[in-house]
Every structure is written in C-alpha cells, then in structure tokens.
Amino acid sequence: MSTPTRITRSSARAFGTSAETVTRRALAFAEGLAAAGVLSCGKHFPGHGDTNLDSHLALPRIDHDLPRLLEVELAPFRAAAAAGLPMFMTAHVVFAALDPTRPATMSPRVISGLLRGELGYQGLIISDDLDMRAIADHYGVAEAAEAAIRAGCDVLLLCRDPAHQDQVERGLTLAAEKDSELRRRIGESAARVRAVKQVAKQARAARPPREVVGCSAHRELARRLGGG
C-alpha cells in the first residue's frame, strides 16, 4: 500500500504512484482476496514507497512534513482502516515528522498513537521481519521485540534465525514476569490473534473449492488481464 510519488526501489511493489490509485487498487485487491476466503494485510504502515533505501539492508528515513504524510503516505491506510482490513504490517522506516528517533515498528507514537488512536484501527498489527538489517544492525532482537510489543504490535516476525526466535521468547517471558503493563499488552495482543484466527476459520469455510482453479472462466479472465 506504499504510495510513492517517484519511482524508487520499493515502488515496484506498490499499487501505484498516487494515493488515490493505491487506495482504489489495494482495497479492490483486498475485497477480491476476501471473496476467495483469504485474509488481507495492508503494508507497510505508515508508508514505504518513497524511500531510497531497502530496509532489508539499511534503515530508511523519510523527512516529509506531517501534511505531506497525511495527504500521500497515510491516505490509503486511513481508507484501509475504515474498511476493516484484518491485518496491517509495520515499516522499518523512521518518519521524522512522527518519531525522529525510532522506526515505525518500535514507535508508540506511530503504532499506538497514530494507527490505533487517530486512525482507530482495531485489527491485528504485525511487525515486519525483525531480522532485517534495518533493525538488526541498530538494535538487538530482544530489545527490538520488546519495544515493538510495547509500541502496539501484536505479532512479531523473525524469519531468518531460529536462535533469535528462542531469544525473543525468553526475553519477553522474563520481562513480562516483572512488568504488569507488558503482560497486559501481551494479553491484549493474544486476544486479537484469537479473533483473527476465528475470522480465518470462517473465511476458510467460505472458500471456493480447489476445482475452480484453472477453470475456463479464470483462464478467460487471465487472458483479458494479460491482453493476450
């Protein structure tokens, strides 16, 4: 759902180069997924399209002022929150106008303040992979994981190193034993995970049978979309 205003390395993964186009296409895509029994996830909040660094390799920073962020980067996410998308994923990007010191994934101002508070989003919030260098090169995984949970993330991705997964689980368990507020946050997140699992169960029940894959109607649609 990134909304670049110029073609950058990350814009090839966006739905367009304007907020209006991204909003229209992304919500249509999400609606199509829902019709097929698949849950959608809006990413990367609060925007990743106008960065000139790849967060797999470095920590990007966006210095646009708040009016620009509201008009461009945040507009599709505001619409997606209003539409009730079940999940959002956070960006490992520093947005100077929102929080000049921490990437969005670890920022209470961005996650709890902006996404939960101002946008009123009630769905599941997933971190991007904490093993990416935007995080790993600047923070320890245990520190980043705890900060992300405290910021408002519900689910943490650690996709590359099983040892890091064990380290984060131990660290969060020990920290929660000593901190009632962190325990409350984890319990809140666990309730959201259970709710989304229930939604997923209902979506699977409504999913079309596998036999429709490759049917004549689908092949005709693919031909028209491909211009062939």
Nearest by Cα to 128 from 136, 119, 120: 136
Total residues belonging to the chain: 228
Of the residues 50, 99, 128, 129, which is catalytic? 128
DSSP assignment letter at 212: G
Which residues, 6 or more positions from 189, have their beta carbon under 8 angstroms from its beta carbon?
149, 153, 154, 155
Q: Which amino acid is at 9?
A: R
Catalytic residue, chosen from 56, 63, 166, 218, is: 56
Residue with tokens 């709710």: 195
Verify whether residue 128 is a known catalytic residue.
Answer: yes
Is 50 a residue of the active site? no
Are 112 and 152 in contact by the 8 Å Cβ rule? The answer is yes
Which residues are the active-site residues? 56, 128
